[in-house]
Structure formats: C-alpha cells, structure tokens
Structure 1
Amino acid sequence: MKVQTAFQGLEANQKERLRKLQEQLDSLIGLQSVKKVIGEIQAFALIQKYRETLSLACEPMVLHTIYTGNPGTGKTTVARIFSRMLKEMGILQKGHTVEVERADLVAQYIGQTAQKTREVLQQASGGLLFIDEAYSLARGGERDFGKEAIDTLVKAVEDQRESLVVILAGYPKPMEAFLESNPGLRSRFPVTIGFPDYSDIELYKIALGMLEQREYTLTAHAQQELVREIRR
C-alpha cells in the first residue's frame, strides 16, 4: 500500500496542514537522514490509520523514540513539528509538545517524584513529551529519586501509548548506558534517530537564514568573517 493511498483516510484540511508541516521539516537545513526516518515513521502511521478505517488488521504503533546528537542539532525543532504532524494524522489529540529535564520530573523528598512525574505526563497527554538529557534521571544510582521517575515513565509509555508520544533526547553514549539501566526502556523505545553535527556549509546557510529573517544583509567582508568564525 502506497503512502498516497493512506492519505485518503484524511480530510482535505488535514492534508493541507500536514503538507505545510512537511514543508517546514523539509526547509530545515541538513538533517537528511533524520528527515528520511521521520518520513518512514509517518508513512507507517498513515498506513496503519488507513487500514483501521478499512477494518483491516493493524500493526501496533509504538512511536516513542530516542533522539541522539549534540546540542543545537535540531532535535527539539524536529520533535515539535513531528508532534503536530501526528495530530493532523489523527494519532495525537492535541499535538502539543511538553519539554522537560530532570528537575521537572525528580522531587527532593521520598514519595514525591512519582507524583511529580505523573503530573508532567498528564500535561503532555494528547501530545508529545520531550525529555532532554534523559539519562540524567539515572545518574544517582539505585538510591536516587530519578529511578522512581524512570519506573513511572516506563509504565506510562506502555499504558498511554495511544495518547502520548515520549522522546528521550541526549548524547549517544550516555543514552546507551541509560537504556541498560532499566530492562523495560529499550523495548518501549524501539527507534533511535541520530542527529548529525552540521557541516560548515550548513552552518553558514543557517546563519544567513537567521540574518535574513531579521532583515540584515552582510557585506562581502562580513561574509568572509562569518566563514572564518565557522571554521574556527
């Protein structure tokens, strides 16, 4: 079944909004490998939703994902677009993105972390929960309150997989160690998307785009200085 066929399950206004979101994703400088994987996930999800309308057997959709890469490589931006895409596809009800880190999930006293984490999960319900440097939840070992947050998250991603998408983000090596810290994590986050560092040319294009948005024009000398700074 082709992706274009799956689009038949969407209303005209959904298709138009989805097209505009795809344009936003495509307009991001670089990230070709990331865009490819997002496209594959989108195609799979659309096909499953369309099969559902035809009362055909559907594969379970586990969309919880791991984003790995250095800061500033577009992880948060892609997550925001992806969440809105899922709303237009009828997978998420709201399509909003809640961005958190360790301090937003872990409390200072015994018994409070699970409640704090559940409150964040409730805020993200119907949308996407983006946890930056997720491995920091495990940095304190077995006696740290972060373990309680991890256990609460593991249960939630299973129980709420039809109403919530969770993305764990951070550096590749610490993320791998984090997945080993809890047996339930790896199976519940089956897809990992690596965000590569930008090349010098891509950074130059990003800088020019930002300047254009702010209605600045660089002289030839300023452009040379920009190139020199990027290459340092």
Structure 2
Amino acid sequence: MDISELPAPAPGNPFAAALAASGITGLLAQLDRELIGLAPVKQRIGDIAALLLVDKLRAERGFAAGAPSLHMSFSGNPGTGKTTVALRMAAILHKLGYVRKGHLVAVTRDDLVGQYIGHTAPKTREVLKKAMGGVLFIDEAYYLYRPENERDYGQEAIEILLQVMENQRDDLVVILAGYKDRMDTFFASNPGMSSRIAHHIDFPDYGVAELGQIAGLMLSTMHYRFDDEAARVFTDYLERRMAQPHFANARSVRNALDRARLRHASRLMGQPDALADDAALTTITAPDLLASRVFSLPVREQAPC
C-alpha cells in the first residue's frame, strides 16, 4: 500500500483539518512520487508524521507527554532511497515545528573523525553546529566504531554525538544509515547509541519490475525513452546485473542509463546518415544496452557496466 492509498480522515474530522493545515500531505505525496515501491518505509514515515501531528494537537490542549525522541536508523543496501527519505523527513519535521530549519547535513566518518589527538572533537562539533535546527544524516555510521584499532578516534566522535543526541534532541535529529547487518552489529556494540534511536526503518531491495519503473522515471526526467526492444533488453539486463556482486539498486540503474546514454551518443556520431530529429536524440535502442559487458560475462562474474 502506498501513501495515496492510506485511509483519509472523514469529512469534518478535526484531524483532517490539522493535517491539511500542516502542509505535510504534500510532502508525503511528493515522497510517494519520488520513490517507487518501499511501501513499508512510506507507511512508517506516514505513521511518524501522524504521531507528531497528534502530539502537537495534544500539547495545544495541555496533554504534554514530553518531547518525543526522533533519532532514527535507516538500514538497507545502497540505492534504496535512504537519503531521499531523510530529506523529506527533515522537511516534515520542519513543517510540524520539531526542527527550526529543516535542512539536512549528510556526512560520513571522514567528516567527524580526525587523524590525530585533539582533531576529532572540533571536527565533530563543527558538523553538529552546521546541523543544529535540522537533521544530521550519518551514512555508513558503523565505521565510527573500530574496536580492532586501539588508536582509532571514532569512539570520541560517538561520545560527543551521544551527549548532543540526549541533551539537544529538541534542536537536532540524527539519522544513522547503512547496511542492516553492520548497523545491527554497531548497535549491539554501542548500547548507548541504540537506546537513543526511537525509530528503526528497514529499506528493502527493489524487484525487477520496480527497478524498471525507476528507470522509466529517470529517463523521463532526462527526456529520454526506450524503444520497445530496448525496454525488453533492459529487463534482461536488470536480471543479469542483480545476480552480480555490488548491485546497488537505483544507483546501479542510474549508472546503467548513464552508460547507455554514452553509447547512444557514440552511435549517433558514428552514423553518416543519422537524423538529428527528436526521435533520434531521445530514443535509446537495444544496441545501446546490449554493448554492456553484463551480456558477455558469466552470471556470477562481476560486471560494473
């Protein structure tokens, strides 16, 4: 079920009026348009938005329950929409008045952890300063913790983050992201961090049909299209590529389309009788895809293009 299929409040329902006034219905609809599939993720984001809206209405009536903990964990493979959802979550939190600015600051370990004694604390605090009033998105968060290296400074960054996540949770939301198995290990090794994460959201991999829809959206945005044969070949490509190592969902789809565009351009340049009409300039054909090494390698052999 996608967001557009969620049951709407009955006409005259005060929650419907509050929902419309909040402006978050448009943000949820935008998220639904931007991301194919991910029904469990969209449902969870909708549930969180509803909870925050009801909490706001309760506070207006004097039923304060304290500031909710909004720190989150997004776990899943690359290319499953984690950053996009984080951006929309920041906007929703801003609309509802839970963060002052609604901006997103995306970082990795290198932005937080220094290379020598005394370097980590100022780096981490500078990032936190930039993120205040919004959302701090830490990708591959488990790399902050490297117990095998006694001289690693990641633990110092974690301790600063924990302090800020607890003491300034009304002015900053932290989202930790990465592969599910590694995130599970990270939380097991850092119970203080785990206890501060209120919402754990798993991002499933896309299926072939969903990836085909994603490709269609990407092509439309770039003013390209597949002809009928290319559409069939791309489905075959996806099935082969998904069986290869390091497949990255929507990210791999984008990479495949970028390479197809290169071959499309080279094909047009190499045809002495090519027409520079709209159809030629916008149509990707089967040969533009079949030139990929995916079609010449054994299924289990890595093929990056």
Fold similarity call, TM over 0.5: yes
Note the alpha carbon deviations across 1:120-175, whole angstroms, 9 max, x for none. Answer: 01100111000000000002545310000000111110011111110000011111
> Given that residues 10 and 89 in structure 1 are in contact (C-alpha distance below 8 angstroms), is that contact kept between their aligned partners in structure 2?
no
SS at match of 1:215: coil
- Aligned position for 1:157: 165
- Aligned position for 2:138: 131
Supply the distance in 1 between the matched residues of 2:117 and 2:139 (Cα, whole angstroms): 23
State whether structure 2 residue 240 is matched by structure 1 residue 227.
no
- Aligned position for 1:167: 175
State whether structure 2 residue 25 is matched by structure 1 residue 23.
no
Supply the distance in 2 between the matched residues of 1:217 and 1:173 (Cα, whole angstroms): 37
- Decide which structure has the larger Cα Rg and report it: 2
Supply the distance in 2 between the matched residues of 1:223 and 1:58 (Cα, whole angstroms): 53
SS at match of 1:207: helix
Deviation at 1:9, TM superposition (A): 5.2
- CA 1:178–1:163 in structure 2 vs 1: closer, same or farther (change >3 Å)? same
Q: Which amino acid aligns with 1:34?
A: V
Deviation at 1:218, TM superposition (A): 1.4
- Aligned position for 2:98: 91
Deviation at 1:58, TM superposition (A): 1.9
- Aligned position for 1:148: 156
Deviation at 1:79, TM superposition (A): 0.4
The normalised TM-score by structure 2 is: 0.71
Supply the distance in 2 between the matched residues of 1:152 and 1:117 (Cα, whole angstroms): 7
- CA 1:228–1:10 in structure 2 vs 1: closer, same or farther (change >3 Å)? closer
Note the alpha carbon deviations across 1:202-225, whole angstroms, 9 max, x for none. Answer: 000000111111111211111111
Supply the distance in 2 between the matched residues of 1:110 and 1:180 (Cα, whole angstroms): 27
The gaps in structure 2 that reach 5 residues or longer are 1-7, 241-305
- CA 1:8–1:122 in structure 2 vs 1: closer, same or farther (change >3 Å)? farther
Deviation at 1:8, TM superposition (A): 5.0
Supply the distance in 1 between the matched residues of 2:169 and 2:183 (Cα, whole angstroms): 21
The normalised TM-score by structure 1 is: 0.92
State whether structure 2 residue 80 is matched by structure 1 residue 103.
no
- Aligned position for 1:75: 82
Q: Which amino acid aligns with 1:164?
A: L
Supply the distance in 1 between the matched residues of 2:211 and 2:157 (Cα, whole angstroms): 37
- Aligned position for 1:184: 192
Supply the distance in 2 between the matched residues of 1:139 and 1:121 (Cα, whole angstroms): 21
- CA 1:213–1:60 in structure 2 vs 1: closer, same or farther (change >3 Å)? same
Deviation at 1:61, TM superposition (A): 0.6
The gaps in structure 1 that reach 5 residues or longer are none
> Given that residues 7 and 46 in structure 1 are in contact (C-alpha distance below 8 angstroms), is that contact kept between their aligned partners in structure 2?
no
Q: What is the number of equivalent residue pairs in this alignment?
A: 228
RMSD: 1.8
